């Protein structure tokens, strides 16, 4: 008979144990954390501390799981080798650990009453994954807008989205629970909590969190219990601003219990504003009035993107903002430079703004080297590529991107040639952007560089910096032949470090050879070649390739029964798989194919997105082509 020590009160879903031959390393620093690799992590301070075991498993379908005092990870989520780990790999380890440790308090110590409040657990843990590792010198706070807010905006603009919090009676089955593990729960949850923390001040917010954890430890709660603690903190703090005394429950209920988010439209000539549910029906809102004193003044709302809403302006103000960016962009905060671009493109996709205004905002980027504006632009331009890379519009887009990226590539070229990286964290990410975009859009010196470094690798010398390996491997294989692909496949099989295997696995999807892509797809259902946990992400990589997307779609349809049988129809990542293989869909024929036989519930958002793509492409194809062609003729 095996007996265990008595545990604290815990939810059944958070109980786990393992039997293994793994070796353990222990570090004592107030809180005891048993890990299989030494990780520097700043503690989330709380009066309740935990003995925490952390284990890296070779084959686990989720990135990590926050069981009580025992956190399991994919190998690349906990372990990294400095000789092969990129900045992103290291950041992923730190932020994932912070996310899972946050769950020891939010989820384990204090547990939601039912799954309809899952957003509070996952949203808080996601928020803390950016806040909890700030002391490492990484500028992550601003990245929450890029990675979480903008991600949530995309999904929450659909009719088929859902509120952060549903009614308890609406969440009763296993599939209904698993469907909640989505971008709304994680990304919108984090974005809304960031908005609340900004509204209160982060110090007051964290004091309220500690009060909540102390008051409800070993108990079940609903989200309003947290708001009451935060309200008490706000009431006890002296503020000059009367508005900060606003009832938090009333302030937050619409963000939490209603689907979607607003777009604020500002007409600067008259001072009028309006608020509408983005894409859908109009909702009530305050209508402040203002007056610009100077005809040359521009207005910028939602500074640093503190609020979870988009902002639209009249065309005159959009043009003034564009001219300011082109004249001296440093006046506008970095976050807002990125959000202006993201708002403009998505408002244009919603038929509320001429797409040429959004496109014109990208022109100033030749003089900006900051990551957030560039990443915002590239994500939205990538959507245009997905819509048009099978049409005659693709040529002008490619040439424009090549011209746009050249100066950024040159800015980082010395680092690239010397095998070094910039000191600034976000600059390291933008160096990768520069190489990926330059090579994929045909910048000759980039392709030559990538092929040369890959050739050295084939000859036994891999001097490619870990940050750049994914981009350079991909470029070399995309412009290479079957022998380059076979070499990368051999290296993938030989690699023992998970992060390096992942880079090679991604790069193998970059080939333009149809027969190699089909072979690679077949490998995904052979666990001796591709681990079962990597099947979905490998298919997603192949679908990102314009040559691989139709192959991946056909493969998923052909093997749908196998996929649902092996992974379960309610599996969390099933929706992301369907989204990846259908992202390019923008024709009626593709819509008809999509409606044939796959899981209707998982497809709902994908179908809605395709319908929007069809309408938008019909209305804007010629406009987009003319704009890019016109810019090329000027330059």
- Which positions make up the binding site? 99, 103, 122
- Distance of alpha carbon 149 from alpha carbon 492, whole angstroms: 34
3-state secondary structure (DSSP) of residue 149: helix
**Closest residue by Cα to residue 146 from 208, 185, 190:** 190
Residue bearing tokens 């393992």: 18
- Distance of alpha carbon 505 from alpha carbon 520, whole angstroms: 10
CA-based torsion, 323, 327, 333, 335: positive or negative: positive
φ, ψ for residue 373, nearest 5 deg: -60, -40
Helix 466-478 and helix 87-105: axis angle, to 10°?
Answer: 120
List Cα–Cα distances, 497 to 74, 80, 174, 198, 227, in angstroms.
Answer: 12, 8, 35, 40, 44
The string of DSSP codes covering 566-588 is HH-TT-TTHHHHHHHHHTT--SH
- Distance of alpha carbon 74 from alpha carbon 458, whole angstroms: 29
The string of DSSP codes covering 476-543 is HHHTS-HHHHHHHHHHHHH--SHHHHHHHHHHGGG---HHHHHHHHHHTT-TTTS-GGGHHHHHHHHH
> Which H, E and C letters describe 291-358, residue by residue?
CCCCCCCCCCCCHHHCCCCEEEECHHHHHHHHHHHHHHHHHCCHHHHHHHHHHHHHHHHCCCCCHHHH
- Distance of alpha carbon 400 from alpha carbon 337, whole angstroms: 20
- Which positions make up the binding site for Zn(2+)? 99, 103, 122
Backbone torsion region of residue 69, taken as left when φ is above 0, otherwise alpha when ψ lies between -120 and 50, otherwise beta: left
The string of DSSP codes covering 88-110 is HHHHHHHHHHHHHHHHHHBTTTE
Name residue 106's beta-bridge partners: 110
Q: Which residues have a catalytic role annotated?
A: 100
H and E: helices and strands count for the chain: 28, 10
> Which H, E and C letters describe 190-219, residue by residue?
HHHHHHHHHHHCHHHHHHHHHHHHHHCCCE
- Distance of alpha carbon 67 from alpha carbon 60, whole angstroms: 14
């Amino acid at each position: 008979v095996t007996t265990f020590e008595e545990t604290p009160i815990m939810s059944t879903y958070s109980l786990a144990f393992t039997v293994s031959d793994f070796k353990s390393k222990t570090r004592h620093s107030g809180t005891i954390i048993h890990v299989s690799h030494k990780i520097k992590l700043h503690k989330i301070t709380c009066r309740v501390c935990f003995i925490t075991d952390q284990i890296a498993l070779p084959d686990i379908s989720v990135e990590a799981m926050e069981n009580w005092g025992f956190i399991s990870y994919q190998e690349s989520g906990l372990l990294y080798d400095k000789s092969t780990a990129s900045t992103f790999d290291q950041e992923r380890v730190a932020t994932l650990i912070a996310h899972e440790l946050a769950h020891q308090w939010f989820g384990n110590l204090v547990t939601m009453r039912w799954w309809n409040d899952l957003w509070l657990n996952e949203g808080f843990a996601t928020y803390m994954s950016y806040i909890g590792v700030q002391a490492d010198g990484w500028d992550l706070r601003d990245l929450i807008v890029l990675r979480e807010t903008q991600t949530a905006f995309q999904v929450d603009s659909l009719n088929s989205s859902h509120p952060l919090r549903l009614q308890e009676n609406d969440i009763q089955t296993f599939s209904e629970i698993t469907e909640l593990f989505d971008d709304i729960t994680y990304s919108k949850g984090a974005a809304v909590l960031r908005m609340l923390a900004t509204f209160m001040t982060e110090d007051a917010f964290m004091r309220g969190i500690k009060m909540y954890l102390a008051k409800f430890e070993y108990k079940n709660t609903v989200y309003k219990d947290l708001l009451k603690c935060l309200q008490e903190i706000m009431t006890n703090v002296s503020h000059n601003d009367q508005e900060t005394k606003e009832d938090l429950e009333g302030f937050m209920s619409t963000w939490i219990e209603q689907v979607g988010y607003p777009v604020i439209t500002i007409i600067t000539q008259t001072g009028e504003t309006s608020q509408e549910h983005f894409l859908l029906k109009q909702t009530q809102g305050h209508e402040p009035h203002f007056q610009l004193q100077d005809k040359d003044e521009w207005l910028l709302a939602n500074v640093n993107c503190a609020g979870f809403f988009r902002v639209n302006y009249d065309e005159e103000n959009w043009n003034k903002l564009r001219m300011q960016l082109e004249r001296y962009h440093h006046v506008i905060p970095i976050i807002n430079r990125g959000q202006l671009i993201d708002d403009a493109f998505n408002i244009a996709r919603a038929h509320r703004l001429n797409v040429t205004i959004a496109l014109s905002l990208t022109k100033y980027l030749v003089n900006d080297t900051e990551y957030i504006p560039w990443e915002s632009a590239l994500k939205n331009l990538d959507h245009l590529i997905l819509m048009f890379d099978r049409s005659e519009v693709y040529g002008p887009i490619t040439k424009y991107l090549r011209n746009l990226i050249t100066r950024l590539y040159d800015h980082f070229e010395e680092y690239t040639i010397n095998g070094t990286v910039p000191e600034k964290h976000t600059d390291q990410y933008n160096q990768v952007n520069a190489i990926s975009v330059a090579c994929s859009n045909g910048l000759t010196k980039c392709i030559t560089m990538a092929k040369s470094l890959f050739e050295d690798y084939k000859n036994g010398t891999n001097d490619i910096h870990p940050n750049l390996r994914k981009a350079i491997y991909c470029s070399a294989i995309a412009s290479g032949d079957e022998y380059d692909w076979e070499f990368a496949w051999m290296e993938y099989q030989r690699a023992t470090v998970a992060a390096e295997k992942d880079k090679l696995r991604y790069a193998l999807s970059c080939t333009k050879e149809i027969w190699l892509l089909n072979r690679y797809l077949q490998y995904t259902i052979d666990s001796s070649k591709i681990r079962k946990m990597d099947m979905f992400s490998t298919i997603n990589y192949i679908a990102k390739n314009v040559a691989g997307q139709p192959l991946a779609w056909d493969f998923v349809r052909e093997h749908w029964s196998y996929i649902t049988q092996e992974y379960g129809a309610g599996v969390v990542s099933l929706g992301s798989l369907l989204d990846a293989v259908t992202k390019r869909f923008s024709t009626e024929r593709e819509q008809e194919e999509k409606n044939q036989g796959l899981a209707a519930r998982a497809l709902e958002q994908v179908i809605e997105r395709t319908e929007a793509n069809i309408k938008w492409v019909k209305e804007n194809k010629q406009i987009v082509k003319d704009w890019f062609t016109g810019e090329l003729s000027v330059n």
